[in-house]
Amino acid sequence: MSEPTNFLRGELSLDVDMSRHVSWRAGGRVARMYQAVDLADLALFLRTLPQDEPLLTVGLGSNLLVRDGGLRGTLLLTHGALTELHQEADGLLYAQAGVPGAKLARFAATHDLIGAEFCAGIPGTVGGMLAMNAGCYGSEIWDKVARVQVLTRAGELVERTPADYAIGYRSVQRRDDDGEPFPLPTDELFVGVWLKFESGDGAASRLAIKTLLEKRVASQPIGTPNAGSVFRNPAGDHAARLIESCGLKGCKIGGAEVSQKHANFIVNTGGATAADIEGLIERVQAEVAARTGIHLHPEIRIIGEKQ
C-alpha cells in the first residue's frame, strides 16, 4: 500500500452511464463513480463517505447487470486502480482486486507456478472472483487462497483467512464468532489476496493457458457483449445442456439473445436494454423449470432499479 496522503488523487465522475462499465454494454446510470489511483487513495476516499452511502465495486464489469433505472450511491472502479501483482518471499502471489484473471494466470506461469491456468478463463478481476468464488474447468479461486485483504468503510485494512468464510459453489459468505455463515458485509471490500500455487513447469503452464483460451474462443461468444455464464450449473448437470435441450438457443427479447454458440450465455446483439436481458433470463428460467422441473439460479448479479 502506498504512503498515505491528505488529499484525494483519483477521479470522481457524476451521473455515469453504466453501460460503458459492464461487459453486457447495457444498463442504467450510477450517481457517482470514483477511480482511485491506488489502495491508499481508495482508503482515503472511503473515509470521506457517509457510512450509509451505497457502494458498488466493479472491475471489468462481467457478471453484472445494472437495471435501466440505474442505482443510487457510488461505484468504485478497481480495474486500472488496484493492479499490484507480485510474488512474496514465502512464494505466495499477492494480487490486488483490479488484476484480471488472465494476467494472474500468465504471471504465475512466468514464475514457474502451476495451478493458476483456470484463471485465464474467467472474464473478470480478482475482487469479483473472490466475492463469488469464481471458477472454471474444475477449479475455483478459493481453493488457492491463503488469506485475503479487505478494506473497511473506515479505510482500515484487515487480513482474514479462509476459515473466516463459508465457501461454496459460486458462493462466499462470512462466518460469525460461532461459525455460522451470513452474507458478505457491505461495510468491507475485498482489495487483495495471497494465493498459493505449486512450483512446476512454467512452459507447460503457458501452453495450457494458450490451449484454454483457444477453447474459450471456440466455444463461447467472445466477440459479442456478454457477461459470461448466466446460470449456475445444477448438481450433476450443466445449465447449457438444459437450456439447449429446451430449444432455447437463439431465443430473443429485443436485442438480447440466448447465444447460438453457448446456451448458457446471453448476448447483446445490439441495442439490448437491461430489461431485455433480465426478461430473457426469466423466460429461460421459466421454460427450463416447466420442461425439466429444474430451477436455474443466476450466476450473474442483478442490481439497480427498474424503469
Is residue 303 within 8 A of residue 131, CB to CB? The reply is no
Query: How many percent of the chain have pLDDT more than 70?
Result: 98
On whether residue 269 sits in a domain, the answer given is: yes
Q: Is the pLDDT of residue 4 over 60?
A: no
- Asked if 229 is an active-site residue, the reply is yes
Rounded to an integer, the average pLDDT of 165-178 is 94
On whether residue 6 sits in a domain, the answer given is: no
Could you say which of 32, 147, 160, 170 is catalytic?
A: 170
Q: Same structural domain for residues 90 and 53?
A: no
- CATH number of the domain encompassing residue 270: 3.90.78.10
Could you say which of 140, 257, 278, 299 is catalytic?
A: 299
In the prediction, which pLDDT does 155 show?
Answer: 92
Tens of pLDDT, residue by residue over 209-259, are: 999 999 999 999 999 999 999 999 999 999 999 999 999 999 999 999 999
The last residue of a domain, from among 26, 50, 77: 77
Mean pLDDT of the chain, nearest integer: 94
Report the length, in residues, of the chain.
307
Distance CA(3)–CA(26), nearest Å, equals: 38
Per-residue CA distances from 243 to 20, 65, 188, 223, 282 (Å)? 29, 20, 36, 21, 12
User: Which of 5-9, 83-87, 127-131, 198-202 shows the lowest per-residue confidence on average (mean pLDDT)?
Assistant: 5-9
Rounded to an integer, the average pLDDT of 165-193 is 94
Could you say which of 229, 257, 259, 278 is catalytic?
A: 229
On whether residue 228 sits in a domain, the answer given is: no
Distance CA(158)–CA(1), nearest Å, equals: 13
In the prediction, which pLDDT does 6 show?
Answer: 74
Tens of pLDDT, residue by residue over 78-106, are: 988 899 999 999 999 999 999 999 999 99
On whether residue 24 sits in a domain, the answer given is: yes
In the prediction, which pLDDT does 159 show?
Answer: 97
Q: Per DSSP, what are the bridge partners of residue 75?
A: 33, 56
Q: Same structural domain for residues 90 and 215?
A: yes
In the prediction, which pLDDT does 138 show?
Answer: 86
Q: Same structural domain for residues 193 and 138?
A: yes
In the prediction, which pLDDT does 279 show?
Answer: 98
Tens of pLDDT, residue by residue over 127-144, are: 999 999 999 888 999 999
Q: Same structural domain for residues 181 and 272?
A: no
Rounded to an integer, the average pLDDT of 255-282 is 98
- Asked if 84 is an active-site residue, the reply is no
Distance CA(26)–CA(186), nearest Å, equals: 25
In the prediction, which pLDDT does 118 show?
Answer: 95
Is residue 14 within 8 A of residue 216, CB to CB? The reply is no
C-alpha cell at 146: 491463503
- CATH number of the domain encompassing residue 120: 3.30.465.10
On whether residue 231 sits in a domain, the answer given is: no
**What b/e string do you get for 61-72 counting C-beta neighbours within 10 Å, with b at 16 or more?**
bbbbbbbbebbe
Q: Same structural domain for residues 247 and 145?
A: no
Its domain, for residue 107, covers 86-219
Is residue 56 within 8 A of residue 30, CB to CB? The reply is yes
On whether residue 171 sits in a domain, the answer given is: yes
- Asked if 117 is an active-site residue, the reply is no
Distance CA(5)–CA(81), nearest Å, equals: 16
On whether residue 121 sits in a domain, the answer given is: yes
Query: Which helix (H) or strand (E) segment is 13 a member of?
Result: strand 11-17
**Cα dihedral 94, 96, 102, 104 in deg (nearest 10):** -10
Count structural domains, the chain: 3
Is residue 251 within 8 A of residue 284, CB to CB? The reply is yes
Q: Same structural domain for residues 48 and 30?
A: yes
At residue 43, the 3 state secondary structure works out as helix
Is residue 69 within 8 A of residue 304, CB to CB? The reply is yes
Query: How many percent of the chain have pLDDT more than 90?
Result: 91
- CATH number of the domain encompassing residue 36: 3.30.43.10
Rounded to an integer, the average pLDDT of 170-189 is 93
| Residue 1 pLDDT class (50, 70, 90 cuts) | low
Q: Same structural domain for residues 108 and 196?
A: yes
| Residue 40 pLDDT class (50, 70, 90 cuts) | very high
Can you list the positions of beta strands (E) in 97-170? 113-114, 135-136, 139-140, 145-152, 157-160, 165-168
Q: Same structural domain for residues 51 and 113?
A: no
Distance CA(168)–CA(279), nearest Å, equals: 27
On whether residue 226 sits in a domain, the answer given is: no
Helices within the chain (DSSP H only): 39-48, 101-110, 126-132, 202-219, 239-245, 274-292
The last residue of a domain, from among 46, 77, 108: 77
- State pTM to two decimals: 0.90
At residue 36, the 3 state secondary structure works out as coil
Distance CA(136)–CA(116), nearest Å, equals: 11
Q: Same structural domain for residues 208 and 254?
A: no
Q: Same structural domain for residues 195 and 245?
A: no
| Residue 2 pLDDT class (50, 70, 90 cuts) | low
Q: Same structural domain for residues 56 and 157?
A: no
Rounded to an integer, the average pLDDT of 258-287 is 98
The last residue of a domain, from among 27, 43, 77: 77
Q: Same structural domain for residues 94 and 157?
A: yes
